[in-house]
Amino acid sequence: MRRNNTNNFNLDAQDGVITQKSHSRVNAYLTHHLWVLVSSLGVLWRTPLATLMTASVIGIALALPTGLHVLLQSVQQLSTGWEGTAQMSLFLKSDVPEKRILSLADKLRGWEGVSEVRYISREQALAEFREQSGFGGALDSLDENPLPAVLVLFPTVEAAEPIQMGLLLGKVQKLDSVDLAQLDMEWVRRLSGIIEVGKRGVLLLGGLLALAILLVVGNTIRLTILSRSQEIIVTKLIGATNGFIRRPFLYTGFWYGLMGAVLAWLLVAILLGLLGDPVNRLSFLYNSEFSLGGLDLETVAILLGSGIALGLLGSWLAVGRHLQAIEPS
């Protein structure tokens, strides 16, 4: 070993201008954060299989609610398209003469919330039915026209809401000439009700899976902390703050969350791609223009955001719980 001369041994050598120093401290702080961000990714990269497995668990857990959400969104778009075409059919008693029907139609046009009333006479209804149903032959064998006359009532835009339509329905049902009044929006309402239930379900499922992600990330970070306890003790002895020690673990959680979210994105995109064609064929058979929507920007942003947040939170919980326990002794 070389014996140093005590003269070139000055411990209090250079020290820069104070302002310059504080400026470079901030710089060094940011550089350090960036370095920890990259190096924690590097650590994960060195054990690709273990990292991929953890990220996959998170990815699948995130993909499930995301996929269901996209599905529900598509169905909802379908039903909102129909809600605008809400209408009410008033099936009239067969003994009501046409004259009274027309005056009733005029009366209804004056009602609040009614924008238009269309009259379908028994003959028109029969012709329509014959044309569309293909049961023309069967109708011919009947002695008389079995179909009632119908007044189709279109609400104004403001009145096309479930509650107002319900009130209107109650009113028209009390009319003498009306045999049966039917709200064609009924099934749309039921559908939107089902969607509401589905949304709630996705939310609850998402909550449960979020909890699972927290546990997965927390446990992974816990194992990492335990395997690096010696390093934690040494850095604490050297004067590392809890924040300094926490940082690499938090960034590890961040990466797990981000990787899981990106995997979920890929999974959902692939699943939607695989489902797209059969769904289009099916909806074509139903004469519907329904098609599966893709992942919109908002959904992707929420997906990535919640993945990262869950990763960070999971590691935060693990770090908070286990770092305190590791103290030099």
Partner 1 sequence: MIKFDNVNKRYPGGHEALSGVSFHLEPGEMAFLTGHSGAGKSSLLKLIACIERASRGNVIIDGQNLTRLKNRHIPALRRKIGVVFQSHNLLYDRTVFDNVALPLIIAGYHQSEVGRRVRAALDKVGLLGKERLMPITLSGGEQQRVGIARAVVNRPPLLLADEPTGNLDPELSREIMGLFEQFNQVGVSVLIATHDHDLISRLDYRLLTLKQGKLEQGGRTSEMQVLKDKKNEI
Query: Residues interacting with partner 1, by CB under 8 A?
Result: 1-4, 6, 9-12, 24-25, 27-29, 31-32, 230-231, 233-242, 244, 327-329
Q: Give residue for tokens 């238009």.
A: 116
Phi and psi at residue 152, in whole multiples of 5°?
-100, 125
First to last CA, the chain: 33
Would you say 27 or 133 has its CB closer to partner 1? 27
Would you say 124 or 242 has its CB closer to partner 1? 242
Minimum distance of partner 1 from residue 322's CB (angstroms):
17
Residue 37 to residue 52: CA distance in whole angstroms: 18
Minimum distance of partner 1 from residue 192's CB (angstroms):
54
Total residues belonging to the chain: 329
Residue 278 to residue 64: CA distance in whole angstroms: 20
115: nearest Cα among 86, 143, 138: 86
Residue 229 parent element (H or E): helix 229-238
Q: Which residues pair with 182 in a beta bridge?
A: 89
Would you say 132 or 324 has its CB closer to partner 1? 324
Residue 33 to residue 71: CA distance in whole angstroms: 39
Minimum distance of partner 1 from residue 299's CB (angstroms):
40
Minimum distance of partner 1 from residue 53's CB (angstroms):
22
Minimum distance of partner 1 from residue 318's CB (angstroms):
20
Would you say 235 or 283 has its CB closer to partner 1? 235
Minimum distance of partner 1 from residue 275's CB (angstroms):
46
Residue 259 to residue 135: CA distance in whole angstroms: 59
Q: Do 185 and 79 touch, CB atoms closer than 8 A?
A: no
Would you say 46 or 174 has its CB closer to partner 1? 46
Would you say 90 or 232 has its CB closer to partner 1? 232
